[in-house]
Chain A
Amino acid sequence: MKIGVFVCHCGSNIAGTVDVAKVAEAAKAMPDVAFASDTMYACSEPGQEGIIKAIQEKGLDGAVVASCTPRMHGPTFMRTVARAGLNPYMFEMANIREHVSWIGRNKEANTRKAIDLVKMAVAKLGQNRPLYPKTFAVNKRVLVIGGGVAGIQAALDCAEGGLDVVLVEKTSSIGGKMAKLDKTFPTVDCSSCILGPKMVDVAQHPRITLHASSEVEDVFGYVGNFQVEVRKKAPYVDWKACTGCGACMEKCPAKKSPDPFNELVGRTTAINIPFPQAIPKKASIDPTACIRFKTGKCGVCAKICPTKAIRYDQQDEMVTEEVGAIVAATGYDLMDWTVYGQYGAGRYPDVVTSLQYERMLSASGPTGGHIKRPSDGREPKNVVFIQCVGSRDPSVGRPYCTGFCCMYTAKQAVLTKDHIPDSQSYVFYMDIRAPGKMYDEFTRRAVEEYGTQYVRGRVSMVYPMGDKLVVRGADTLAGTQVEVLADLVVLAVGAEGAKGSPHLAEKLRISYDSYGFFMEGHPKLKPVETNTAGVYLAGCSQGPKDIPTSVAQGSAAAAKVLGLFSKDQLQSDPQVAKVDLKRCVGCMKCALTCPFGAIKELETRGEMKVEVIETVCQGCGICTSTCRQGAIQLQNFTDNQILAEVNALLLTAEEEGA
C-alpha cells in the first residue's frame, strides 16, 4: 500500500507551535508511506489540488491529512480524495491542531505528539477498506414543531414549496409569543394584525395539517424516514363540532382560572378560547379549573353548546406521522425572575414582567389596553423599566445577552407615553444594544421624542414605600446613586429555552446547551442545521431572536428542507455496524444496548442471528464493545483498525524506551 501524508501549517495555528516540516520528514520513514509534504493551508484550493496531484502522480492508495478536527474538514478531504479517484474512506485525519498545537506551547513535545498521531493515522489507514454508501427513498413530508412565528413561516414556506406539512403546537392555538405582543418594534405596528393573516394562511392551506394542543411524544427513524408519535391532548371538546361561537365561555361559572395567555395577569373561564384571533378557534376545558372535573357537578357548557360539542370523557389521542424532515421551532420562555430577591421576587404586585406589561398594553388583554396597577387598579404615572433581568447576569446563571430586551423596553416606554400622556418612564440599562435595521433610530426616538429617561446603571433594590415602590439604583454616568418613586416597575426579563426543550432534544437526538437552547450544527456555517441529519432549527429554540430574525430562520429552515427533498434518493453513511454471521451467536446483547433500535433479529438456516438496519444505525459503536464474540464491527472503526493505531503508538514508546 502506498500512503501519502500531508501536514498542514494552518497558517500559524499549527506551524506556530509544531515543527511541521519535521513531522512530514518523520512521516517519510513510516511504513507504507510513499510521499509526505507540508502545506500552508491543506483545505485551500491549492492545498487540495496538491493532494490530488500527489495521489495521481505517485499512484497513492490512500492519504493522511494532519491538520484540524475531522468535524471541521473531514468531509472536505474525503471529497478531495474522491476527486483524485480513490474511495473517500481511504483517508485518515490526524488532529494536530485541537489535540496538539492549541493546547501546548512546548514545540518539541508538540512535534513529538504530532508525529505519534500521524503514525497512528498511517497505521489505521493501512487497515482501511473502501466503503460504499447505500441509497434509500425519502418521504417528502415535513414536521414543524412549534407554532410561533418561526414555525408558522417554516410551515408556510415548505407548503408553498409543494411539501405536505404537519404542524404540532403545544398550546390550543398557534401564534406563540408574538400573538401575545401588543405592538412590534421598531415600526410600532399591531403585532396580531401582521401575524393574524399568516395564522389564517396556516389554517386554510390545503397542504398543512395542524395539531394544536399536541406534543411530540417520541421520534423514531432517520433522515427521510421519521416516524413521529404525536399526543393530541384531550381538549374535552369535539373540535370537529365546535364552531368557536364562545357561548360556553360566556356562561361558564368557573371564571377565576388563571389565564396563561394573559401571563396570569387576568382571569379566564375554565372552558375558553385563548384569544379572539386564535387558530384553531376552538374551545378547550382546563380540567384543573373546571367545576365539573373537580366536583362532578355543573355541566353548564354542555347544556349551552349549540352544536353539542362538549365531551367530558374525552381521552388523549395518539397519532403517528411519517415525515422525512423535522423543523424544531419551540421558542423560548422567560427566565424565572423570582430568583431576584432584590426586585421583590414576585412578592410585590406592582412589579410585573415585560410580557405581563405587554398584555396590559394590548387592547385584547385583561385590562382592555388600559395600563392599571395590579395592586389597586390605578393608572401609574411613574413607570420604571429595569433591563437585563436575567440577561448578562452570571450570578443567576444567565451570562448571555437576550438581545431583544433593549428594543422591547424602548417600545414599551413609547407605548406608555401614548397610553398615558402625562406619565414619565425611566429605563435603567447597562448598554443599549440596538443593532437591527432602524433599531438605534427607534431607541433615540424613545429618548428624544417621548422623553424617556434613560439611566445607565443597575438597580440594587426595589421596595414598597406606602403605595409606591422605591427603585434604588446607580447612575454610573453621573456617578451617583439615584432613587425613583415608581407607581409601576416593569422588569425586562431575559429569555431561556422553552420549558421541556431538553426532553424534546433527547427525542430528536440533537444537542442543547445549559440554557435549554438547541445547538446548531456549526455556530457560523450551519446555523439552521443540527448534528442530526434531517432535523433543522428555527426561531428562539436556537437562541433568543427578534421577530425578523426568527422569520428569516424559519424561511432558511424551509429552504434546507426543500433542498433535502430535491433529491428522491438519499445516501446513507456506510460507517455503520456490520454483523459477521459466522461468529454471531444470537445472544441479542447488542440489540439490548443499541440506543437507536437499529438491530433486529434475523433467522438464517434455522439459527437466530442479528442484522443491522443500516439506515437507522448511527455508527456509535456501543454494540461492538458489547459483543463478546467480536461478531459485530463498526465499519471504518474495526477492532483491527483500532489495534493498529494502538500498536503504532505503543511500538513507538517501546522504541524510545529502548
Chain B
Amino acid sequence: MTGKIRYAYYPGCSGQGTSVEYDTSTRAVCAALDIELVDIPDWNCCGSSPAHTVDHHLSAALSCRNLAQAAQVEGARGVITPCPSCLSNLKTSARRMADPDFAARVNKLLDKPLRHIPPVKSVLQALFEDVGPDALYPRVFKRLEGLKLAPYYGCIMNRPPQIMEFDDHEHPVAMDRLLEAVGATALPFPLKVECCGASYGVARQDIVERLSGRLLDAAAACGADAFVTACPLCQMNLDLRQDQINAANKTGHRIPVFYYTQLLGLALGLDPKALGLDKLAVSPRDVLAAVGVRA
C-alpha cells in the first residue's frame, strides 16, 4: 500500500443512530490504515427499505442524488459505505440507470441529471481489496489469538452476485481472511449468508426469533465465542434481541455480536472508546478478557 487512498464516504442513517459504533469504528480503522474518508456533502437517505418498496424510480433518485453529491469529493476512488443495505440500494440504482428509459425518469426527479456514476463498494470490499490481509498482518498491535469467531455476512452483502460483484455469494470469505490476519480464528460457520429476519423485528417478531435463533444455535454449535457482523440490522437482531430470542426459544445464549471493524480496531491497538464497544447489548468483556484484551 502506498500513499493515502481517498473515498467518498456514505455513513447511512443507521451509522448516525442504531449502529453509531459501526460508523465510529469504521472511521477509526480506515484512518489507521491510511484510507481517507470524506463524508458525502449533504447526503440524504439511500432510498432503502421504505422507498424501494414503494417506487423504484424514487428510490433510485435518492441514491443517485447521493452519487451526484459524491462526485464533488475531489480525487476519490469511488463511494464506500459500511451498511450492506445502503450498498445494495446504491449499486442496484447505479445498475438500473443503464436503462435509458429508467434513467430518464430518474433524472426528471433530480435537479441535474446524473452524468458520471462512481464505483460503489462496501467498506469491507475496500479494506479487503485496497489493504488486504497481507498488508494488515504486520500492522497488528494485539493479535486476537484464541478468539473463535462466527463470521456472519448476512443475506445482502454479497447478493445478488451480478450486482454486488464481490466475493462468493454463497460462501464469502473476505471477512474471514481479515480476521485471520489479525490472529483470530474464523470458524467454518455454515449460515454465514442466511437471513436474520431483517426488519421483521418490527412487524413479526416471531420470524426474527426463529431465524436469528437458528443463527445463535448454529454459532453455539460451532463453538463460537462471538459473532462478527458487517450489517447494522443483523447486529441489532442478534445482539439487542438476543434476550427476546432466548426467551422465545427457551435458550440461554450469551454471545457478543461485534462489528468486524471493532475487532480489527482492537487488533490495531485503537482506543476502545472510539470503537464503541460499550454500545453492545451483550457485553463482550469476558470474551475479550479471555484473549487478553481489556475493554
Is A465 among interface residues, defined by CB-CB distance under 8 A?
A: yes
Is A548 among interface residues, defined by CB-CB distance under 8 A?
A: no
Contact with A along B166-194 (1 / 0, CB 8 A): 00111100000000000000001011001
Is A340 among interface residues, defined by CB-CB distance under 8 A?
A: yes
Which A residues lie within 8 Å of B218 (CB)?
Answer: 463, 465
Cβ-defined partner of B170 (8 Å) among A340, A464, A465, A466: A340
Which A residues lie within 8 Å of B170 (CB)?
Answer: 340-342, 345
Is A347 among interface residues, defined by CB-CB distance under 8 A?
A: yes
Is B221 among interface residues, defined by CB-CB distance under 8 A?
A: yes
CB distance from B115 to the nearest CB of A (A): 33
> Please, how many angstroms separate the alpha-carbon atoms of A466 and B171 in the complex?
20
> Please, how many angstroms separate the alpha-carbon atoms of A341 and B168 in the complex?
8
> Please, how many angstroms separate the alpha-carbon atoms of A465 and B221 in the complex?
7
> Please, how many angstroms separate the alpha-carbon atoms of A465 and B218 in the complex?
7
Cβ-defined partner of A463 (8 Å) among B168, B169, B190: B190
CB distance from A464 to the nearest CB of B (A): 6
CB-based nearest B residue for A348: B190
Quick check: B190 and A464 within 8 Å, CB to CB? yes
What total of chain A residues lie within 8 Å of the partner, measured CB to CB? 11
Quick check: B190 and A341 within 8 Å, CB to CB? no
Which A residues lie within 8 Å of B194 (CB)?
Answer: 461
CB distance from B17 to the nearest CB of A (A): 32
B residues 173-229 with Cβ under 8 Å of A? 188, 190-191, 194, 218, 221
Quick check: B171 and A341 within 8 Å, CB to CB? yes
Which B residues lie within 8 Å of A342 (CB)?
Answer: 170-171
CB-based nearest A residue for B189: A463
CB-based nearest B residue for A472: B194
CB-based nearest A residue for B170: A341
Quick check: A341 and B191 within 8 Å, CB to CB? no
Which A residues lie within 8 Å of B188 (CB)?
Answer: 347
Chain A CB within 10 A, most for which of B190, B194, B218, B221 = B190
CB distance from B200 to the nearest CB of A (A): 15
Which A residues lie within 8 Å of B168 (CB)?
Answer: 341
> Please, how many angstroms separate the alpha-carbon atoms of A466 and B222 in the complex?
8
CB distance from A626 to the nearest CB of B (A): 44
Cβ-defined partner of B169 (8 Å) among A341, A347, A461: A341
Which B residues lie within 8 Å of A463 (CB)?
Answer: 190-191, 218
CB-based nearest B residue for A343: B170
CB distance from B54 to the nearest CB of A (A): 27
> Please, how many angstroms separate the alpha-carbon atoms of A347 and B170 in the complex?
13
CB distance from B180 to the nearest CB of A (A): 16
CB distance from A185 to the nearest CB of B (A): 31
Which B residues lie within 8 Å of A466 (CB)?
Answer: 221
CB distance from B175 to the nearest CB of A (A): 15
Can you name 19 A-B residue pairings with CB atoms under 8 Å?
A340-B170, A341-B168, A341-B169, A341-B170, A341-B171, A342-B170, A342-B171, A344-B190, A345-B170, A345-B171, A347-B188, A461-B194, A463-B190, A463-B191, A463-B218, A464-B190, A465-B218, A465-B221, A466-B221
The 7 closest A-B pairs by CB, nearest first: A341-B170, A463-B190, A341-B171, A342-B170, A341-B168, A464-B190, A345-B171
Since A342-B170, A345-B171, A463-B218 are in contact, a sample of 16 more A-B pairs with Cβ atoms closer than 8 Å, ordered by chain A residue number, is A340-B170, A341-B168, A341-B169, A341-B170, A341-B171, A342-B171, A344-B190, A345-B170, A347-B188, A461-B194, A463-B190, A463-B191, A464-B190, A465-B218, A465-B221, A466-B221
